[in-house]
A and B are shown apart, each in its own frame.
Chain A
Amino acid sequence: MLNPRLPDGTRLEISLTVNGAARTIHAYPMTRLLDVLREELNLTGTKEGCGEGECGSCSILMDGFLVNSCLIPALQANGTSIVTIEGLANDNRLHPLQKAFLECGAAQCGICTPGMILAALHLLDKIPQPSLDEIREGLSGNLCRCTGYFQIFEAVAKLSRNGVAD
């Protein structure tokens, strides 16, 4: 939560875990977590589509919750554990969900893909065998203009059939 007594323009030390590694940065309290990730930590896989929490391109996992990183002030991320798209592939080996996205044509232009994959991961974590309606609902915060979604649904369903193998 924001501390109202902090003077405007003071950089704070913020410690967080990103993709399993402890990181400490200095940021203004209201800097968007999206900018911290992209500019301070150079994790540019997290994308900005709208900057107002509508498109979901900046989706990340924060303490297991799916959040729009454009809406999270840096201060709120202090002490949390973050997963971004860069945290999924293991030693150059694709996560099964990434592989399913490739196989099903679920990534076209690719700009919504990182956020979409994290939303799908979050969904499968909560509901390992989702129905079509549950997939639709689980991805409803993530807009894709290229695919018309069905190949993304198929990627998620494929993984739920095969199981998350890592």
Chain B
Amino acid sequence: MRFCAYCEGVKLTESEETIIGTSVPRKEGRDKVTGAARYVDDIRLPGMLYGATVRSKIARGKIKRISFSPEIDWNEYVIATAKDVPGKNCIALILDDQPCLVDGVINHPEEPVVLIAHPDKHALAKAVEGVVIESDPLPAIYSMEGSEKQSEIIWGTDNIFKSFLIEKGDVDRVWAEADFIVEGEYFTGAQEHLYIENNGMIAVFDSVAGVTVWGSLQCPFYVHKALMALCGLPEEKIRVVQLETGGAFGGKEEYPSMIAGHASILAMKSGRPVKIVYDRLEDMVATTKRHPSRTRHRTALRKDGKILGGEIDFTIDGGAYATLSSVVLSRGTIHAGGPYLWPSVRIRSKAVATNTPPHGAFRGFGAPQSLFAMERHMDRIAKIVGLSPVEIRRRNFLQPGQTTTTEQVIREPINLSDLLDKSLAHASYKAKKENFARENKTSSIKKGMGIAAFLHGAGFTGSGERYLDSVVGMEGTADGSVRILVSSTEFGQGTNTVLCQIAAEALGIPYESVTIAQADTTIVPNSGPTVASRTAMIVGNLVRSAAIGLKQTLQLDGTLKKTFKPAEFGAACRKYVAEKGLLRSLARYNSPEGVYWDDVTYKGEAYAAYAWAVYVAEVSVDLTTYAAKVENFVALQEIGKVLHPVLAEGQIIGGIAQAIGLALYEKVLWQNGRMLNGQMTNYIMPASCDLPPIRVVFEEIGNPHGAYGAKGIGELPMDGPAPAILNAIVDALGVPFDSIPLLPEDILEAITRRVQSRQQITSPQESPC
């Protein structure tokens, strides 16, 4: 019995000839399996207070009065409001529009208004209830459509955080030439990250050293920047340290700045260490989620199924503040055309404001939303044009030498048709599709096959990596080992392990001789945030450069010979440090030659590398329960060089599991801008019985811009499963579904509606799927 293709590859023993491409043990793995790993809630400091947040109950309004229940002895508590913010009351990120604590105007439910702290954490819940916020409600907006109507202006002058326009060719001319024009509208819902470790931070204030925070987070320097503004302290008086982080998925990209800010304000006011750890309900209702989206496609096609051009309108719900919506929108916009050739296209996109808690970064970052629409739309096109879902894709795949919607030339020798054929073969697609078509006629369990072809750009979009200007450090130590210095964080995906592999490979020393420093802003340089599938590819490449720099320092100095054995490298480090002191090398990002991006016209090289994939889902729908179940799944992808097979497979399977949740289980129920089902009891994520066998296949073309040929991998598997699954459900039932999540009640409703409308129409016409 084997459930994973790569598990047997793990090497728990000493050094291999080649470290890259082998599955070395996870660096911090031992601590994780023994329970020794320390997460934020495992830390207690002497004299520490526990903090809690009093939040708004309404979606929008003006605060009239904040009162404190006389039944509580408030002298025991430290209390902070907006007036206690030492610096600027905002969470510094892109636009500084989000307050750290509400100052007068509430813009969404669960917005932080008052902070309290007490030495006994059990004394907090009652006190939170004892703070009464009286306010005059203002009209609020709860939907993208409401925001677009602008009946209320709740943000800026038009409720729009950001909009983009991509234009390629002359799309206005294609409609007259078209044999078919296919339109479709597609929706995706909010999704909760549901990392199993809730958010948390500990802050300590010292009038000399300043503010130090320890916590669960992805991006130490994002928190650092936010705390400088908030605390009104200079760079050197803010220290941010990442602790072991129990899952993130984008959910600990921007919101940790808020919690760190709250803990810091209480620590500065009280002079004592303050810990704030959310419980599950608070984490689910108050922190960020995946942006809900709506995508409209209008596509012109020739008789033979070739795309002539099209218009794509992509809109996301950003919630009440700008936060990262503009960047999420950018990635979603660039991915909206999928892996296809668009001779002409016009993509308009916008992120709009609503009075819900701000939506934020989540694995895939806008791409799963627009790619869901693209891949459902391809199946709709296939049906109307009269081709199979396989053939319509084959005829439109991007090929080397052709250009994407941003007119980026595909330079790598990617053959998407070949990836498609291979994935179909792994899935026994043809045979199963034929069997199902036959069996479905007489069975109450309907089965179907669905595919999704897609791409995912690795690293920051466009000029992003140039602006980030990442730096990586490496030290040779007195004991002869090497230490990597990066702000890139480990939260399960394998940062520690992969970066140590790269350094060991570049230096020709055992993996065991490389360690990685804790991400502490006073120790590590800024290697950028741990997001955008950039760490292995971009930071990894800088680690390699820093390693080469370290080796050259020793060689130029004469301490190390041109060719050396691993033990000689260790000896050289020891000697150098003993005689000369600090042995350190730094590497800074250099953007690849010939890469051009225009931020204004949105043209050029959007990403230094794309990962490519074709996923195939086999689905059954039981017409007794209306539950859809994924029976089998094939995930074939080209991700460049696979640096660590076990970790890579873990990323793919884990991403698919999360995406199956997005497609079939995870529904956020909203009421007046507030999440109603903020518990694991009523927000359902996949458990161990819910997932199909998943076959993971890697193709390796390589990538000249990534460490040892690596591309990004973490977000890719989030993009494809939902459209593949929905396409399979449509194949099984013959009813179009264009909205996720798709729960049994949604299937029931659609089928019931269809039966009713058939009864009303005398000559039923097949609606296109």
CB of A140 within 8 A of CB of B688, answer: yes
B647 within 8 A of A: yes
Q: Which residues of A are found within 8 Å of B196, using beta-carbon distances?
A: 47, 49, 55, 57, 109, 111-112, 143-145
* Bound: A61/B193 CA distance, A: 29
Cα distance, A108 to B27, chains bound together (Å)? 11
Q: Are B650 and A103 in contact (CB under 8 A)?
A: no
Total count of chain B residues near the partner, CB < 8 A: 64
A-facing mask of B29-43, CB < 8 A → 1, else 0? 111111111110110
Q: Say how far B9's CB is from chain A's closest CB, in angstroms.
A: 9
Interface string of B641-661 (1 = CB under 8 A from A): 000001101100111111000
State in angstroms the CA–CA spacing of A109 and B10 once bound together: 18
Q: By the criterion CB–CB under 8 Å, are B7 and A44 in contact?
A: no
Taking A107-B29, A149-B691 as contacts, is the C-beta distance between A154 and B4 under 8 angstroms?
A: yes
The CA-CA distance from A151 to B6 in the complex, in Å, is: 9
A147 touches B35 (CB 8 A): no
B29 near A139 with CB under 8 A, answer: no
- Flag A15-38 by CB within 8 Å of B: 1 or 0 each: 000000000000000000000001
Given contacts A94-B30, A148-B654, whether A50 and B280 have CB atoms under 8 Å apart is yes
Whether a CB of chain B sits under 8 angstroms from the CB of A132 is: yes
0/1 string, A50-69, CB within 8 A of B gives 1 = 11101101000000000000
C-alpha spacing A89/B279, complex, angstroms? 30
* A46 with B35: CB separation less than 8 A: yes
Q: How far is the CA of A136 from the CA of B681 in the complex (A)?
A: 19
Which residues of chain B are near A143, meaning CB under 8 Å?
A: 196, 680, 685, 687
For chain A, the count of residues having a C-beta within 8 Å of the partner chain is 59
* Contact B657–A104 (Cβ < 8 Å): no
Whether A109 contacts B653 by the Cβ 8 Å rule is no
Nearest to A115 among chain B residues (CB) is: B196
- Bound complex: CA of A152 vs CA of B28, how far in Å? 17
Residues of chain A within 8 A (CB-CB) of B28 are 110
Q: Measured between alpha carbons, how far is A127 from B36 in the docked complex, in Å?
A: 28
Within 8 A of B (CB), among A75-96: 84-86, 88-89, 94
The residue in A94, A98, A150 that gathers the most chain B C-beta atoms within 10 A of its C-beta is A150
How does the 8 Å CB contact mask read for B334-374 relative to A, with 1 for contact and 0 for none? 00000000000000000000000000000000000000000
A94 touches B33 (CB 8 A): yes
B3 in contact with A148 (CB, 8 Å): no
- Across the interface, do A113 and B33 meet the contact criterion of CB distance under 8 Å? yes
Contact of A49 among B7, B12, B197 (CB under 8 A): B197
Closest chain-A Cβ to B552's Cβ sits at a distance in Å of 35
Q: Is the CB of B35 within 8 A of A145?
A: no
Asked if A85 and B681 make an inter-chain contact with CB atoms under 8 angstroms apart, the answer reads no
| B688 contacts A113, C-beta separation under 8 Å | no
Instruction: For A88, give the chain B residue with the smallest CB separation.
Output: B34
B689 within 8 A of A: yes
Q: Which residues of chain B come closer than 8 Å to A107, judged between CB atoms?
A: 26, 29, 32-33
Q: List 19 A-B contacts (CB under 8 A).
A: A44-B38, A47-B39, A47-B197, A49-B280, A51-B279, A86-B34, A94-B34, A107-B26, A108-B493, A109-B248, A110-B244, A111-B39, A139-B688, A145-B658, A148-B686, A148-B691, A150-B694, A151-B4, A152-B688
Contacts A44-B35, A132-B1, A150-B4 known; list 10 others, CB within 8 Å. Answer: A43-B35, A44-B38, A57-B196, A86-B34, A111-B246, A113-B35, A143-B680, A145-B685, A146-B650, A147-B653
Interface residues of A (CB under 8 A from B): 38, 43-52, 54-55, 57, 84-86, 88-89, 94, 98-99, 101-105, 107-114, 117, 132, 135-137, 139-140, 142-155, 157-158, 161
